Amino acid sequence: MRPALADTLDLQPHPEGGWFAQTWVSPESVTLADGRVRPTATLIHFLLPAGDRSAWHRVASDEIWLAHTGTVVLELGGSGDQPEAEHRLTVGVAVAAGEVAQALVPAGVWQRTVSSGSDALVSCLVSPGFDFADFELADG
């Protein structure tokens, strides 16, 4: 069932889980060392409903998480062949309570998101810009 906030923001299902919509693409581009061309950055809204979790995945660019509403636990799983939970960050707006309002996931690092007791809305800024060709889901 599509959450109300997904309707409001016109979010679509994301392959990793949750809901998303791209909200900005930089008009500037960069040529990567391997010759691929990407925008310098892209930005999405990402909604993870209460009780949900995303699948382990990684992207080929740095990703910055920006908290808006609710709280998620961002699990980082290293950069090996398969993820191994190594580090956790609580991403949310209650900074005085130990949450971080911004979090960096370095390029090539496995990540997954676990929601808390309420829906959580974040934005993800990816640089160089996101492309599904650079997106990998973990096996199983």
pLDDT tens column, 47-59: 999 999 999 999 9
Q: What tokens appear for 5 in the block?
A: 């906030």
Task: Please count the CA atoms within 13 angstroms of the CA of 94 that sit on its side-chain side.
Answer: 8
Distant-in-sequence, close-in-space partners of 7: CB < 8 Å, separation ≥ 6 = none
- Cα 25 to Cα 38, 41, 56, 63, distances in angstroms: 10, 6, 25, 14
Distance CA 78, CA 49 (A): 25
The topology (CATH level 3) of 39-137 is Jelly Rolls (2.60.120)
Could you write out the three-class secondary structure of 114-129?
EECCCCEEEEEEEECC
Greater model confidence, 124 or 86: 124
What is the pLDDT, as a whole number, of residue 61? 97
* Residue 86 banded pLDDT, cuts 50, 70, 90: confident
Domain boundaries, the chain: 39-137
What is the pLDDT, as a whole number, of residue 140? 64
- The pLDDT tens digits of the residues spanning 106-127 come to 999 999 999 888 899 999 999 9
Distance CA 114, CA 109 (A): 16
Average pLDDT, the chain: 96
- The pLDDT tens digits of the residues spanning 8-47 come to 999 999 999 999 999 999 999 999 999 999 999 999 999 9
Other C-beta atoms lying within 10 Å of the C-beta of residue 82: 11
What is the pLDDT, as a whole number, of residue 116? 85
pTM: 0.94
Q: Which residue has the tokens 């699990």?
A: 75
Distance CA 2, CA 130 (A): 24
